[in-house]
Amino acid sequence: MTPSQQIDQLIAGLKDWRGETLAGIRKTILAADPNIVEEWKWMGSPVWCLDGNIVVGNAHKDKVKLTFSHGANLPDPDKLFNNGFGGKVWRAIDILEGDKLDERALKELVRAAIDYNRAKKKKAPAATGAKPRT
């Protein structure tokens, strides 16, 4: 089964508001950039990637959680992040039943994460085996 099929199966298995919410979020994330790839990691988590991990989506008992791998480094002018402020790397968005997530703002956050991944990739030393000069 492909990662996209596994995500389809996960969403179909969520018979309440979480399935509909995760399906809408998925659509918005994929609309942010046509090159985003869906992966299935960590024993059952949908992950959207482009030049590295962008965001992990999980359905919990009372919420849908979007965890941005480098959220602490991303601009969030629309104040979507509402969890994970104690950490130095990730930030999350917890969506509760009845919450409305701003699709435009989510797309912008996903694009910012892609830009961050690309910038980080450019800064990485070449894999030549040579040590960088100090």
pLDDT at 104 over 50: yes
Which range of residues forms the domain containing residue 69? 3-117
pLDDT at 76 over 50: yes
**Does residue 113 fall inside a structural domain?**
yes
**Does residue 44 fall inside a structural domain?**
yes
What pLDDT was estimated at residue 86? 83
What pLDDT was estimated at residue 126? 57
pTM: 0.89
Q: How many domains does the chain have?
A: 1
String of DSSP letters for 70-86: TGGGS--TT----B-TT
Least Cα distance to 115 among 68, 37, 54, 29 occurs for 54
**Does residue 100 fall inside a structural domain?**
yes
Q: What's the CATH number where 67 sits?
A: 3.90.1150.200
CB 50, CB 35: distance < 8 Å: yes
Judged by DSSP in three states, 40 sits in strand
Beta bridge mates, 56? 47, 67
Mean pLDDT score, 68-88: 94
Judged by DSSP in three states, 19 sits in helix
**Does residue 74 fall inside a structural domain?**
yes
* Tens-place pLDDT, residues 22-33: 999 999 999 999
